[in-house]
């Protein structure tokens, strides 16, 4: 319940934060970057993480909020889930992210927890990574050498591991608009506030009575979020029928390596992925 002792710094600018990170690295100090803290603080309370320095991004201006950038929305890394779930720009252009954000944990956690924090934490069962992966977003990282941009496809590298290097900070995420696409986030849990057992994010473009293009993200089907490429390929050009969509989504378990735990074994999760993918796509196209 009580973390190990640590030093705390709340820089006012990104530059100041980067300076603190590089100094800590030089001093050999274990440093953690604190965003909303809704995953980090519980882990520190259980003493599963005991950094010697915590750098709190909470006092840096300009890291929170959603701005319209033409073909994309630029979302500040410190934007709380609650804002993601209620922001009109997100609702209009990225309803998938709006819907997924509304399923994260519980209302109190959504008030504090941040979009960027959840992405950098990269819990395979977290609800933001798979939808963001499906959108093909670009991650903007600030580091000692300046700004670096990473494609979503390269961002999630393993269990709780991302492309964010030591000394770097995720400052924003540029997400292409999917205005007019059908979308749905289908989440499966045993109790409401649980992490996803499996979830499926679906973005579907319907054109001329058929599916023109689909982008499908899978939550908790491997150590990282995955694109269900087999499903995406099968959906492209598929007619808008339950049968066709169900058949296409039978590929959802391909290439996945889900864990087995109290909530289900890998075989069950692979099965769930198919069922949930079907439901997500059907909901996305309004069937």
Residues at the interface with other proteins (CB under 8 A): 1-8, 10, 34, 37-38, 41-42, 44-47, 54, 56, 58, 82, 105-109, 111-112, 188, 190-195, 197, 262-265, 268, 271-272, 275-276
Compute the least distance from the CB of residue 191 to other proteins, in Å.
Answer: 5
Compute the least distance from the CB of residue 151 to other proteins, in Å.
Answer: 32
Compute the least distance from the CB of residue 73 to other proteins, in Å.
Answer: 22
Compute the least distance from the CB of residue 3 to other proteins, in Å.
Answer: 5
Cα Dmax for the chain:
61
CB 255 within 8 A of CB 171: no
Compute the least distance from the CB of residue 200 to other proteins, in Å.
Answer: 12
Neighbour-count burial of 215, counting CB atoms closer than 10 A to its CB (0-12 exposed, 13-18 middle, 19+ buried): buried
Torsions phi, psi for 250 (to 5 deg)? -65, -10
Nearest C-alpha neighbor of 254 from the set 272, 287, 229, 217: 229
Neighbour-count burial of 266, counting CB atoms closer than 10 A to its CB (0-12 exposed, 13-18 middle, 19+ buried): middle
Name which of 30 and 165 has its Cβ closer to other proteins: 30
Compute the least distance from the CB of residue 127 to other proteins, in Å.
Answer: 14
d(CA 197, CA 203): 20
Name which of 106 and 151 has its Cβ closer to other proteins: 106
**3-state percent breakdown (helix, strand, coil) of the chain, nearest 5:** 35, 25, 40
Name which of 36 and 217 has its Cβ closer to other proteins: 36
Three-state SS string over 218-275 comes to EECCCCCCEECHHHHHHHCCCECCHHHHHHHHCCCCCCCCCCCECCECHHHHHHHHHH
Q: Which residue has the tokens 């289900």?
A: 264
Name which of 230 and 264 has its Cβ closer to other proteins: 264
DSSP state, residue 194: S
Name which of 227 and 279 has its Cβ closer to other proteins: 279
Compute the least distance from the CB of residue 56 to other proteins, in Å.
Answer: 7
Name which of 51 and 76 has its Cβ closer to other proteins: 51
Name which of 1 and 26 has its Cβ closer to other proteins: 1
CB 172 within 8 A of CB 140: yes
Residue 196 zone, left/alpha/beta (φ > 0; ψ -120 to 50; rest): beta
């Amino acid at each position: 319940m009580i973390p190990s002792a640590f030093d705390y710094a709340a820089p006012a600018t990104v530059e100041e934060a980067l300076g603190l990170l590089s100094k800590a690295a030089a001093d050999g100090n274990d440093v953690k970057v604190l965003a909303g803290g809704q995953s980090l603080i519980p882990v520190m309370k259980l003493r599963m993480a005991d950094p010697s320095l915590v750098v709190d991004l909470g006092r840096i201006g300009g890291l929170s909020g959603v701005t319209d950038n033409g073909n994309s929305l630029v979302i500040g890394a410190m934007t709380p889930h609650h804002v993601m779930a209620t922001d009109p720009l997100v609702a209009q252009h990225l309803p998938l992210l709006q819907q997924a954000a509304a399923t994260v944990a519980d209302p109190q956690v959504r008030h504090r927890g941040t979009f960027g924090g959840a992405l950098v934490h990269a819990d395979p069962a977290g609800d933001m990574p798979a939808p963001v992966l499906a959108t093909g977003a670009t991650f903007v990282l600030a580091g000692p050498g300046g700004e670096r941009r990473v494609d979503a496809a390269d961002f999630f590298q393993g269990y709780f591991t991302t492309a964010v290097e030591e000394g770097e900070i995720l400052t924003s995420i540029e997400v292409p608009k999917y205005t007019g696409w059908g979308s749905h986030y289908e989440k499966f849990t045993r109790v409401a506030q649980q992490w996803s057992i499996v979830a499926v994010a679906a973005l579907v473009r319907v054109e001329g009575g058929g599916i023109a293009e689909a982008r499908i993200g899978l939550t908790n089907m491997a150590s990282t979020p995955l694109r269900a490429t087999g499903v995406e390929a099968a959906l492209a050009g598929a007619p808008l029928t339950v049968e066709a969509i169900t058949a296409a989504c039978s590929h959802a378990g391909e290439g996945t390596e889900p864990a087995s735990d109290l909530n289900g074994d890998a075989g069950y999760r692979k099965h769930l992925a198919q069922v949930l993918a079907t439901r997500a796509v059907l909901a996305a196209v309004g069937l």
